[in-house]
Amino acid sequence: MTNAIEIRGLCKSYQDFSLQNINLTLPGGSIMGLIGENGAGKTTTIKCILNLIHRDAGQITLLDQDNISGEAMAKADIGVVLDECYFHDTLRPRDIDRILSHVFSTWDSALFDAYLGKFQLPEGKFVKEFSRGMKMKLSLAAALSHRPKLLILDEATAGLDPVVRDEILDEFLAFIQDEDHAILISSHITSDLEKAADYITYLHQGKVVLSEAKDVILDRYGRLACTAKQLETVDPADLVRVRKGSFGCEGLVRDRAAFQRKYRDLLVEKTTLEDIMLFIGKGEAV
């Protein structure tokens, strides 16, 4: 497997929203963070990947299989964790083990038990007695226990405390040590993605704004802090967006190194994924 996911020209239209020509590639052995504001199209993209909704145009390949004609074969090797635990409140982990052993031919009960122990999940308690963090760890344990090659996670770490999130991120990093494994994770917690992701795809208003290696994005872009008068001296082509306030101006710099060489008297700092989202989502055109 070279690429775990390949999307080309994905389009999906609703009455008040549309995905427009989405292209992304997730190589094997890596993690891609899917970011964007609410309503940007992250969940719609994931539903299209999983063939849960009908797309209008485009092609999606999962683990070298077309996600429609080869859906059954592809999904056998995919683990999915969504933003809510969908196991019924009256089930216990031992019940989930018994049920899923009949669903997945590759289900590994011993591995599931090992994850229950690792995540400190009591196998005799009902799901309704679990905290949100415990439910997410239970969902992850179930997703991993049929030995998938691809994990797809939609806001799976939302609302979890930092300790639990860090524990789950460590599990993701361990999972992709196998170069045949890969993870696509949608998340608003950009600091987590800065720690764990290899690639970032940023959706804004149904379009791909960025889809590159995370380190390339963070090395290239910069944050300019200056006065309004200084901003007037900057070529608009060197900026992506600006934000003007009572105490000064900020700009998202397209190429930090080149900008610093051109404007030696202006201060350009490293930026974060959150800064980039705020500039593009709330900033003004130059």
- Coil, strand, or helix at residue 191? helix
Domain extent listing, the chain: 3-213, 221-282
- Which pLDDT belongs to residue 160? 81
Instruction: Return the H-helix or E-strand segment holding 23.
Output: strand 18-27
Distance of alpha carbon 145 from the chain centroid? 21
pLDDT tens digit string along 49-82?
A: 999 999 999 999 999 999 999 999 989 999 999 8
Helix (H, G, I), strand (E, B) or coil at 62: strand
Residue 221 zone, left/alpha/beta (φ > 0; ψ -120 to 50; rest): beta
pTM of the complete model? 0.92
The answer to whether 36 touches 203, Cβ cutoff 8 Å, is: yes
Q: From CA 188, how far away is CA 192, in angstroms rounded?
A: 9
- 253 and 268 Cβ atoms separated by less than 8 Å: yes
Report CA-CA distances (Å) from 1 to 29, 224, 225, 267: 10, 41, 44, 44
pLDDT band of residue 1 (cuts 50, 70, 90) is low
The reported pLDDT for the residue numbered 163 is 87
Fold of 3-213: Rossmann fold (3.40.50)
pLDDT confidence of 23, banded at 50, 70, 90? very high
